[in-house]
Amino acid sequence: MTKNTSLFQKDLMQEALKQSFVKLNPKIMFRNPVMFTVEIGTAVMFFVCLWILLGEQSQGSFAYNLIVFLVLLLTLLFANFAEAIAEARGKAQADSLRKTREETPAKKVLALGKIHSDEVEIIPSSQLKKGDLFFCEVGDIIPADGEIIEGLATIDESAITGESAPVIREAGGDKSSVTGGTKVLSDRITVKVTTEQGESFLDKMIALVEGASRQKTPNEIALTILLAGFTLVFIIVTVTLKPFADYANTPITIAAFISLFVCLIPTTIGGLLSAIGIAGMDRALRANVITKSGKAVETAGDIDVLLLDKTGTITIGNRKATNFYPANGIDEKLFIKCVVLSSFADETPEGKSIIELAKVNPLSYQVKDARFIKFTAETRSSGIDFENTRIRKGAADAIRALCQNAGNSFPQETAEAVTKISSNGGTPLVVSENEKVIGVIELQDIIKPGIQERFERLRKMGIKTVMVTGDNPLTAKFIAEKAGVDDFIAEAKPEDKMNYIKKEQAAGRLVAMMGDGTNDAPALAQADVGVAMNSGTQAAKEAGNMVDLDNDPTKLIEVVEIGKQLLMTRGTLTTFSIANDVAKYFAIIPALFIVAIPSLQDLNIMNLHSPESAILSAVIFNAIIIPMLIPLALKGVSYKPIGASALLRRNLLIYGLGGVIIPFIGIKAIDVLVSVFI
């Protein structure tokens, strides 16, 4: 994916300039009430210019009216350019994605009724349907989105994620999803197509970044209505000035009326509103997060509660074995032998770390007719059976129940060791031989460096963090305290996440969570912001309203900051836009009536050269402020987690007070230049 961070690339600028003129179409402009009224005013000024050329004397000089017309036209073009440059950045990314989505040959596995044969048919990827099977080998481009049903492979996803490091995808579990357009680097996989034509991940991405699927968010709609209300008010204000002017025997030209109206309505935010929304989605995309709507990004900025998995998010993925604690009377060598044998077939990182800690080659133990017992969620244990020996390794309560059901007691020293390990943030694995407890293994989580600071940052934002883990409550409590999260859900089942989300939502809070498995899908759908991993299952990706291309479990923290930045940018630029109308009021109103009503001289605090220069200075400033704010609209206002009240005070000071002061300085400076030519 194209990841050029430059705001104004040459090719994008050319496209945006072209679209600035295309967007002058009234059908397009009508979607923005503020700028549509400016376009009407510009059209009126065009006809006024023609009227003067035909001999009209009462509307001032042709040059003066022409300049007003041209400045108003520039105002429209600048506003259109702001939206067009934001859209162009998305379209450039869409073009990059189209290259990824090029027609690819697919090795379709032929079906005989409901049975798939070994025969293969080479067909274009466009002919693949949902439910079809295809296979890919080394060097093949994956032709369509799907779930791996057989095999595992190393896959290059750089065409989508921009990340050059290959990833491993395998059948079963939560890392089985593959995306069309990515490349197989090793091994062979059989894939089942999970999407219909035109509904693939790339198709959706292209539609989103091009803006075809972009709809105004609720906040954006509300602000549009507010701005339309302001515009209507100032139409009434401007129109009612006419009888006042007639009463004061002060003729006011059409150019003056239109200039006053355009300067008083919130044209700055009106011109930048769409660009801010598009740029918010663009920033999310540049963080490698695909959002299904602008609403999702906006909602992220209002999040109150954040649900995070422990493993891989708060801790560094895999737990490691750190200690062995044999029960009283159990020989350490016997205990280690049982531990190693029970972990021999355990391919998990935890199982491998147990063998590493034991420092024993499992092949050195000779056993006959071995039968390995895999771990299941029901038994919560694994192990090995051989000859007349049964060794089990698993959760303390599972092994306790196993031994007690066989009539054996659970040793007191083992129970104490379990409690001690759990209290220190570890995970105890109890080992039994022939339903008799022989000791316990200590596994320890390693908390990610710097994660405490990130949670503190979220706390300053006013966001409650909740850790979700399958660990026992003691272990969960220790890690939660050490990591600095506000709450935790221990021994969590899929329905526990759902119930917690519903409880928080019932209390009026917005909830966000991340997930990658099919079991996460209900909670992802229920959450206000659900971020699914790109590596996760198709069910998870469809349930969430965002997809993280990097598969980074901490990405949700960045998403929240992007959302808050979007809301702040829109709010601060609205404040600035309305505030700078004050200065333009003091520039134009005295200029209109100062000759007829000399007492208005007190309002002429800028001491502008003439009524004509005052009006021109105000409309010129009104026009040039829009392109000056485009970089801010695209990049977003800088966000610091200092609390809502402190942020409000800071932004009111910078953009509220600044919005009043800057136009006074700017209009006066322009007036000095304009007066030279008038």
Residues with catalytic annotation? 309
> What's the token pair of residue 34?
């503020």
Instruction: Tell me which residue has tokens 């196993």.
Output: 402
What token pair was written down for 37?
Answer: 């009224």
Q: How far is CA 540 from CA 144, 324, 468, 535, in A?
A: 18, 38, 17, 10
Contacts within 8 Å (CB) and 24+ apart, 385-389: 386/341, 388/434, 389/433, 389/434
HEC sequence for 343-368: HCCCCCHHHHHHHHHHCCCHHHCCCC
- CB distance 526 to 510 below 8 Å: no
Q: CA–CA separation, 372 vs 359, rounded Å?
A: 21
Give me 217's structure tokens.
């968010």
CA distance 156 to 179: 10
What single DSSP character describes residue 61?
-
d(CA 127, CA 106): 9
Sign of CA dihedral 154, 156, 160, 163: positive
Cα separation, 400 vs 430, whole angstroms? 8
461's tokens: 């934002």
Handedness of CA 199, 204, 210, 215 (dihedral sign): positive
148 - beta bridge partners? 191
Ramachandran category for residue 286: left, alpha or beta (phi over 0 → left; psi -120 to 50 → alpha): alpha
Exposed e or buried b for every residue in 241-263, given b needs 16+ CB within 10 A?
Answer: beeebeeeeeebbbbbbbbbbbb
Contact (Cβ atoms closer than 8 angstroms) between residue 561 and residue 637? no
Q: Which residues contact 474 (CB under 8 A, 6 or more apart)?
A: 419, 422, 423
Query: Is residue 88 a contact partner of residue 23, using CB atoms and an 8 Å limit?
Result: no
- Give the separation between CA 432 and CA 339, rounded to whole angstroms: 9
Secondary structure (3-state) at 147: strand
DSSP notation for 103-121: --EEEEEEEETTEEEEEEE
In the block, tokens 């007003």 appear at 68
Distances (CA, A) of 518 to 88, 110, 145, 201, 292: 36, 28, 16, 17, 19
Q: What are phi and psi of 343, to 5 degrees?
A: -105, 0
